[in-house]
Amino acid sequence: MTVVTIILAIVVKGEGVITTVGYWGDGFWDLLEFTTQMAMILAAGYVLTQTPIVNNLLNKIVSNFKTPKMAIIVTTFVSSIGFLINWGFGLIIGGIIAQKFSTKIKNVHYPLIISAGFSGWAFYGLGLSGSVPLVISTPNHFLEDDIDIIPLSETIFSTPMLLTTLALLITLPFINALLHPKNSKEIIEINISDFSDRETQEDEKVNTKNLSWASRLYHSKFVGIFTGLLGVFYLIIHFYKGGTLDINIVNFLMIFLGILFMQRPSAYLNALGAGIKLITGIMLQYPFYAGIMGVLAASGLVFSFSDFFVAISSIETLPFWSLISGFIVNILAPSGGGQWSVQGPIMVQAAHDIGTSIPKTAMGVQLGDAWNTVIQPFWLIPILALSKLSLKHVMGHLIIISVWVGVIFVTSFLLWGYVS
């Protein structure tokens, strides 16, 4: 994408090679704060899935259902709720509950239930960690001068988006259940021997008798619980004073809930260390996205691209075309936040030129990204590593799931554009 953007700036806008590379380098570090915010969303969400309280809750849920189709339905529902809370949380919890069901219920088609656990990605853009709505609701975001601050009440909590969430939440679990093979010979069950025990460990008794004072604090439940409650107390004050929900507050909530539920600082840091391994791609990719954004803005390519969308769109249809373009761009930029850093200025300019709604246009990009991520191999890497499956096992199911998600999203944005 970097090379293509530089070539386009040279060919389309007539910029020199040295000048264009300068635009790229100058913009390379413009999204450092944003990069950290996205990394924390994934790491903090992962830690929350590793807490004993979440693990015990999943065990109770799994124990209440006995049939393969119900396992598929419940896995989809739990994954969807997880993604609505936090995409890092949903990504891991979907795979974990899928494995729990597969080990406890016979004749569960393992590739399908893993696909069902991953299908919650469709809800990512509609939830509390949706990159685009959270970014544009956060003070000092990189497009604030162009669109101001847009509250979540106009994006994920707007009536059309709430109805979209409800429609998908009701139908997707049953769509997934219908995909379960009827012929028992086609069912692939989990191979237990492929896995070591991944269950969250029971709270270990730590002998603090011979430890230093600092080490005792490190293993102290009191320190962890007090720190977690302190964070919760701050959030109560924040919302009592009229504070709003933005990306920083969501991350704050996830971090301190994780500390509170883990109890011991040592346990939290151990889990966080494992979660940080998942953010490697984010830390490397986002500076490149910032560099691309720098070329788009400084060369004027952003205006050329926005002119194209102005030419094919109307006030009513630009949000729909934002959805379609978001789906396509996500093939090359598999990250909602990174994609918005590149595509956001283009679609915002187009929305200004046509005079259409910024929240609708922004949510179009966001849900186009979420729609494509259901079949995006980049984000399948963690779930495939967790499940010990390969891409061929799950992609067929995910393509069918993606078609249904597309039906819901396209219908939603066409209605939103023309009705409201």
pLDDT digits (tens, 9 = 90+) for 256-303: 999 999 999 999 999 898 888 777 777 888 888 888 878 887 888 877
Question: 81-98 b/e with 16+ CB inside 10 Å = b?
Answer: bbbbbbbbbbbbbbbbbb
**Is 181 a domain residue?**
yes
Using CA atoms, how far apart are residues 286 and 39, in angstroms rounded to an integer? 10
Using CA atoms, how far apart are residues 386 and 167, in angstroms rounded to an integer? 29
pLDDT given for residue 176 in this prediction: 97
pLDDT at residue 322 greater than cutoff 60: yes
Please, which pLDDT band fits residue 196 given cuts at 50, 70 and 90? low
Averaged over 148-170, what is the pLDDT?
96
Mean pLDDT of the chain: 88
Angle at 165 between CA 161 and CA 166, to 5 degrees: 120
**Is 250 a domain residue?**
no
Question: 164-173 b/e with 16+ CB inside 10 Å = b?
Answer: bbeebbeebb
Specify the pTM: 0.79
pLDDT at residue 368 greater than cutoff 80: yes
Please, which pLDDT band fits residue 57 given cuts at 50, 70 and 90? very high
Using CA atoms, how far apart are residues 408 and 77, in angstroms rounded to an integer? 17
Q: Is the dihedral of CA 330, 334, 336, 342 positive or negative?
A: negative
Question: 248-273 b/e with 16+ CB inside 10 Å = b?
Answer: ebbbbbbbbbbbbbbbbbbbbeebbe
Using CA atoms, how far apart are residues 372 and 352, in angstroms rounded to an integer? 26
Using CA atoms, how far apart are residues 72 and 208, in angstroms rounded to an integer? 44
Q: Which residues contact 249 (CB under 8 A, 6 or more apart)?
A: 235, 238, 243
Please, which pLDDT band fits residue 209 given cuts at 50, 70 and 90? low
Q: Which residues contact 13 (CB under 8 A, 6 or more apart)?
A: 299, 300, 301, 304
CB atoms under 10 Å from CB of 14, counted, come to 9
pLDDT given for residue 165 in this prediction: 97
pLDDT, tens digit, 9 for 90 and up, residues 59-105: 999 999 999 999 999 999 999 999 998 887 888 899 889 999 999 99
How many domains does the chain contain in total?
A: 1
Q: Where are the alpha helices (DSSP H) in 209-279?
A: 213-218, 221-240, 247-262, 265-276
Please, which pLDDT band fits residue 108 given cuts at 50, 70 and 90? very high
Kindly state the DSSP code that residue 257 receives in the 8-state scheme.
H
pLDDT given for residue 200 in this prediction: 40
pLDDT given for residue 289 in this prediction: 81
- Of residues 294 and 362, more confidence is placed in 362
pLDDT given for residue 69 in this prediction: 96
Q: Write the CA distances from 99 to 26, 260, 389, integer angstroms.
A: 46, 26, 12
Please, which pLDDT band fits residue 11 given cuts at 50, 70 and 90? very high
pLDDT given for residue 376 in this prediction: 83
Averaged over 43-57, what is the pLDDT?
88
**Token duo for residue 28:** 């390379």
- Of residues 54 and 334, more confidence is placed in 54
Q: What percent of the chain has pLDDT over 90?
A: 55
Using CA atoms, how far apart are residues 246 and 238, in angstroms rounded to an integer? 12
Residue for token pair 């590739």:
111
Using CA atoms, how far apart are residues 48 and 57, in angstroms rounded to an integer? 12
Q: CA torsion, points 379, 384, 390, 391, in degrees to nearest 10?
A: -20
pLDDT given for residue 336 in this prediction: 73
Report DSSP letters for 354-368, one per residue: HT--HHHHHHHHHHH
Averaged over 140-149, what is the pLDDT?
91
pLDDT given for residue 332 in this prediction: 65
pLDDT given for residue 363 in this prediction: 96
Averaged over 22-36, what is the pLDDT?
88
CB atoms under 10 Å from CB of 53, counted, come to 14
**Is 156 a domain residue?**
yes
**Is 335 a domain residue?**
yes
Averaged over 121-132, what is the pLDDT?
91
Averaged over 167-176, what is the pLDDT?
97
pLDDT given for residue 166 in this prediction: 98
**Is 139 a domain residue?**
yes
Please, which pLDDT band fits residue 204 given cuts at 50, 70 and 90? low
pLDDT given for residue 386 in this prediction: 73
Residue for token pair 């264009």:
20
pLDDT given for residue 240 in this prediction: 93
pLDDT given for residue 201 in this prediction: 44
Kindly state the DSSP code that residue 180 receives in the 8-state scheme.
S
Residue 344 in contact with residue 361, Cβ under 8 Å?
no
**Is 223 a domain residue?**
no
Please, which pLDDT band fits residue 202 given cuts at 50, 70 and 90? very low
Q: Which residues contact 289 (CB under 8 A, 6 or more apart)?
A: 31, 333, 335, 338, 339, 341, 342
**Is 160 a domain residue?**
yes
Averaged over 222-235, what is the pLDDT?
95
Determine the structural domain holding residue 135 and report its residue range.
2-186+277-419
**Is 258 a domain residue?**
no
**Token duo for residue 155:** 């994006």
pLDDT at residue 338 greater than cutoff 80: no
Q: Write the CA distances from 292 to 7, 91, 232, 344, integer angstroms.
A: 11, 28, 38, 12
